Amino acid sequence: MKNSAFLLVVGAALYAQTASITGRVTDSSAAVIPAVSITVESVETSVKTSVVTNEDGYYTVPQLPRTYSKMIDYGTGTWNGETLGGAVIQNFNNLRADRSVAELDQTHRFILNGAYELQVGKGMHGLAKTLVRGWQVGGILSLFGGEPLGLNSAVNNTFSQGGGQRPNWTGVSPKLDNPTPDHWFDTSQFSSPAPYAFGNAGRTSSGNRAATTRQLVLTLSKRTQITEKLDLQFRAEFFNFTNTPHFDPPNVSFGNQLFGVVSAQGNQPRIVQFALKLNY
């Protein structure tokens, strides 16, 4: 007899954050049911994904979300306690000049995650089976594009009694092919406007962005069934497994001696942690 189950997944977000779907199939007496076909369908895309439960009744359905988007606004204030730059309107009589790609824009976002139970130890019995069976490897790979940089000026010489000021821009892209923390973009493309004049640089530069995010999280876990309703789970988790640094945005205040310089790291170095959990 072939068993099957169907799950309907509903979700809509500009920046989708999803995780794998994991569960266990049992009957009315709480006995596990192996070899059950599980099908998940996305309401938005009608894409179906099917998996089969293992001999212990467990299943994992990985998700493969990717978004392509563009966010445009007239200004982004302090976000999560951080001033993103370019948030002050330059000329209140010309709001159109402040319409630009938002500092929160991330054109590309890709997340790949899944889990796989190692198929080892078949045919073993006793202690050997207990030690070898039930190991599972999982991971989450996150790839995000960098956010656009919003420029401003350290000194406001417009004397406009309000608003802010941005530098003048030559029109040549300041993006560098190989940016470094000490020289993230070509600062020579910007200059100070004349007194009583607004700068012509846009509020943000879509082609001049902060660092991309490349993050890999790995897990190694083992579930050991002690009794019918009691099991022990061991987990080893590796955050930022590749120990890849993610740089904070550079200084975007024209006239500041650190203009165009990255002075901080935006993520943690590799972190390893272990856990032991008793499920009952």
- Do 122 and 132 contact (CB within 8 A), yes or no? no
Domain boundaries of the chain, sorted by first residue: 1-63, 65-279
Ranges of the chain whose pLDDT falls below 70: 1-20, 41-47, 62-67, 77-87
Three-class DSSP category at 189: helix
Residues whose CB falls within 8 Å of the CB of residue 202, separated by 6 or more in sequence, listed in order: 97, 100, 166, 169
| Main-chain dihedrals φ then ψ at residue 129, nearest 5 degrees | -65, -40
Distance (Å, whole) CA 259 – CA 166? 13
Q: What are the tens digits of pLDDT across the range 104-138?
A: 888 888 888 888 888 777 777 777 777 888 888 88
**Nearest Cα to 166, choosing from 151, 186, 187, 185?**
151
Distance (Å, whole) CA 117 – CA 138? 9
Distance (Å, whole) CA 33 – CA 52? 10
| Main-chain dihedrals φ then ψ at residue 187, nearest 5 degrees | -70, -15
- Do 152 and 144 contact (CB within 8 A), yes or no? no
The DSSP element (H or E) to which 126 belongs, if any, is: helix 126-132
Is residue 4 classed exposed, middle or buried when 0-12, 13-18 and 19+ CB atoms within 10 A define those classes? exposed
pLDDT at 6: 44
